[in-house]
Structure 1
Amino acid sequence: MKAEQRKNRNRMIERFIQGLLMIVLIVLTIFMMIDVNKIQGNARVINYAGIIRGATQREIKLEISGNANNSLIRYLDDIFDGLMHGGGKYQLTKIDDQKYQNKLAKLNKAWVSLKEEIQKVRENGYENTNIINMSEDYFYLADETVTAAENYSQHCASQLNSIEKGLIVTSTLIVCVIIRETILAIVLMKRNKELNKLAYIDLHTGLPNRSRVEELVGEYNHFDQPSAMIVFDLNDLKEVNDSLGHVAGDTLIMNFADIIRTSIPDKHFVGRYGGDEFIALLTNVTKDEVEEIITSVQNEAKRYNEFSKQIHLDFAYGYDLSTSYQEANLKVLLNQADKNMYDCKTRMKQARKG
């Protein structure tokens, strides 16, 4: 009787420990997801803060040379709005760090003053203004703001590293407890593992991942309305990784994903199909509308290259239409679009050599 009571008590203790460890695991996973989201948002903030630094210097040079550029000023205003308040035209993250916010507030105040000085340059000529000294001070302040954002991002990365270690320790303890459980618990654990593998979101880009794309391809056995499949592929990603490191390559992938998603209407599906390959499924579209969307992506990439002083972004694409076939499924369109993309890539390489 006492042995049975001791056994039941030990079982209750084991279940309590297992439940506690599971709670710790869930909490750590939530924190990890929050940190991953922060790091992704921070990377975009760092990128656009760098654009502010470079684009403002370009604006000053244009104003000094007598070439007023109000569109560039509006572009910088939109970025500042997103950095200061979050969201905005470029869907930027508001970094929750006091040092960075203080630097950003000073930078924004300096930008307001700089715009006032630009107006004086237009009215009186730059020789009669303090535009050059102000722009130099602004540049150093912008540099400090970028550094503050980078420091905060590094802090988030360190937190993520600690969380990952905590996850490893917690997971190991859970495995030790689960070993003593019944076969049912082992089966349940395997099912949970399989469910985790079926996660449909690519954490790096925030787009549906390859699993979701493959599931989508399997769902479309026929088309009820005119549809199109576009395949996009980044050029020279390997060279970027080899010369500048994988962090630069990852940033390029993330920026390209953002360009595609923001250029294509939300009603259409956009997903990451591979390392540097993305697909878009467009429904109820004509050939002209497909080409307009591709042009929109090209224009946004061109705009990115104009204002970003970092890595040049270039891509190949291919598409196919369901109306080209009497009867077809999505897999047929994907294969043909992929082939057309490689043909495009080949033509681009030949054009470079020529």
Structure 2
Amino acid sequence: MKKEQRRNLGEKIAQGILLIVLITLTIFMMSDVKKIQGNARVINYAGIIRGATQREIKLEISGNENDVLIKYLDDIFYGLTNGGGKYQLTTLNDQHYQKKLTELHTSWLSLKDEISLVREKGYQQTNIIKMSEEYFYLADETVTAAEDYSQKCATRLDQIEKALIFVIALVILMMIKESVSAVVLMKKNRELNKKAYIDLHTGLPNRSRVEELIAHYDHFDEPTAIIVFDLNDLKVVNDSLGHLAGDTLIMNFAHIIRTSIPEKYFVGRYGGDEFIALLNDVTQQDVEDIILQVQNEARCYNEFSKQIFIDFAFGYALSTHSRETNLKLLLNQADKNMYECKARMKAKKKSH
């Protein structure tokens, strides 16, 4: 059982890790997609300043001053250099690109000074042609640097997508494995059900099944409790109302116990009017809450029943109360506590 628990725990941890990796990769992928979209705008506007600057130079040479175009280029440079701006551009986190952009911006500032000279003296008295050629090559290198960085981001995105596909495949395989395990478990359960001894009257496992469980359950990996329930006055009901009424009482009490106790816990019929619940991974408070739930359900039943009333004694024992206990000793202690409860109930009735 411990090995199975460790294996199940390992699988749960692996599933958790895969989920974290899946979420992380998805976040990275979304970030890179957004980054590539921003890169595309940067490349586009870097290309614009390459062509628009050449147009501005031609206009200035021909004597057509265009301050609006200069302002347009300044706005683009601001966005490329600082991010945001009028055109909501992004800054690329690449040293080579930033170096080229800085050189290009410096060249642009020099060009603007030269444009002022052109307007004062005419282009023949300036180096505007040569400077514009140098500027064009710098702009070309800046665009290339932006494209190279964008390609790196695209390659990274491709790697993330492949990793994401791999992780998703692992998740799917684990889901398939769990599904197969569930089918195998269902098959085993069906086989066990065929072997199990069922009390036909109540639909619960009978004494033989309870004893089989006790025989194989010889250790405690987690806090375990046994509750013993015993119907009071069953003989009185049989004698006064008949055995059919007694059988109805047993059947209704079995139904109350089974529906009051969570399905994950074992509930069986141990004798004619005695029932057992085996609870795993519980505290004393959990046990007492379950008993209270059974009592409340019995009380509700009695409020609507006109002839047959449910009255029962109970006793329980918890493995944490003794380090050396086993299921048989636990059952004996619970049975002893149940008889003490029954004796108290009888004494209380006599006193009244």
TM-score (norm 1): 0.50
Q: In the alignment, what sits opposite 2:154?
A: 157
Question: Is 1:41–2:35 an aligned residue pair?
Answer: no
Q: Are residue 134 (structure 1) and residue 131 (structure 2) matched?
A: yes
CA deviation vs aligned residue, 1:139-183 (integer Å, no higher than 9, x gap): 000000000000000000000000011001111111111223369
Corresponding residue number in structure 2 for 1:23: 20
What is the aligned-residue RMSD (CA, Å)?
1.4
Equivalent in the alignment of 1:123: 120
The residue number in structure 2 matching 1:107 is: 104
The residue correspondences of 1:173-188 to structure 2 (distance < 5 A) are 173-181=170-178
Q: Which runs of 5+ in 1 are unaligned?
A: 186-354
Once the two structures are superposed, residues 246-290 of structure 1 have per-residue CA deviations (whole angstroms, 9 ceiling, x without a partner) of xxxxxxxxxxxxxxxxxxxxxxxxxxxxxxxxxxxxxxxxxxxxx
1:12 aligned to 9, 13, 18, which one?
A: 9
- The counterpart of 1:86, out of the listed 83, 98, 117, is 83
- Structure 2 CA distance, aligned partners of 1:56 and 1:169? 48
Match of 2:71 in 1: 74
CA distance in 2, matches of 1:8, 1:182: 18
4+ residue stretches of structure 1 with deviation over 6 A?
A: none
Query: What amino acid is aligned across from residue 144 of structure 2 in structure 1?
Result: T
Corresponding position of 1:147? 144
Residue 59 of structure 1: aligned partner: 56
**How far apart, CA to CA, are the structure 2 residues paired with 1:60 and 1:42?**
27
1:98 is aligned to 95
Aligned residues, how many? 181
Q: Which moved more, 1:124-133 or 1:168-177?
A: 168-177
Q: Distance in 1 between matches of 2:176 and 2:82?
A: 50
CA distance in 1, matches of 2:124, 2:45: 31
Q: Percent identity?
A: 66
- The Cα offsets for residues 192-247 of structure 1, whole Å up to 9 and x where unpaired, read as xxxxxxxxxxxxxxxxxxxxxxxxxxxxxxxxxxxxxxxxxxxxxxxxxxxxxxxx
CA distance in 2, matches of 1:181, 1:45: 48
Deviation track 1:308-345 (CA, whole Å, cap 9, x = no partner) reads: xxxxxxxxxxxxxxxxxxxxxxxxxxxxxxxxxxxxxx
What residue is the counterpart of 2:199 in the other structure? none
Question: Which SS does the other structure have where 2:65 is aligned?
Answer: coil
In the alignment, residue 42 of structure 1 is paired with which amino acid?
N
The separation in 2 between residues aligned to 1:178 and 1:96, in whole angstroms, is: 40
How far apart, CA to CA, are the structure 2 residues paired with 1:123 and 1:85?
32
- Look up the SS of the partner of 2:32 in the other structure: helix
Aligned residue for 1:32? 29
Q: Distance in 2 between matches of 1:108 and 1:129?
A: 20
Q: TM-score, normalised by structure 2?
A: 0.50
Query: 1:332 is matched with which residue?
Result: none
1:45-89 Cα offsets, whole Å, 9 max, x none, are: 000000000000000000000000000000000000000000000
Shift of 1:122: 0.1
User: How big is each residue's C-alpha offset from its partner over 1:28-50, in whole Å with a ceiling of 9 and x where there is no partner?
Assistant: 11111111011000000000000
Task: In structure 1, give the amino acid aligned to 2:98.
Answer: Q
Asked which structure has the greater RCO (Cα within 8 Å, sep 6+), the reply is 1
Work out which of the two has the higher radius of gyration on C-alpha atoms and give 1 or 2.
Answer: 2
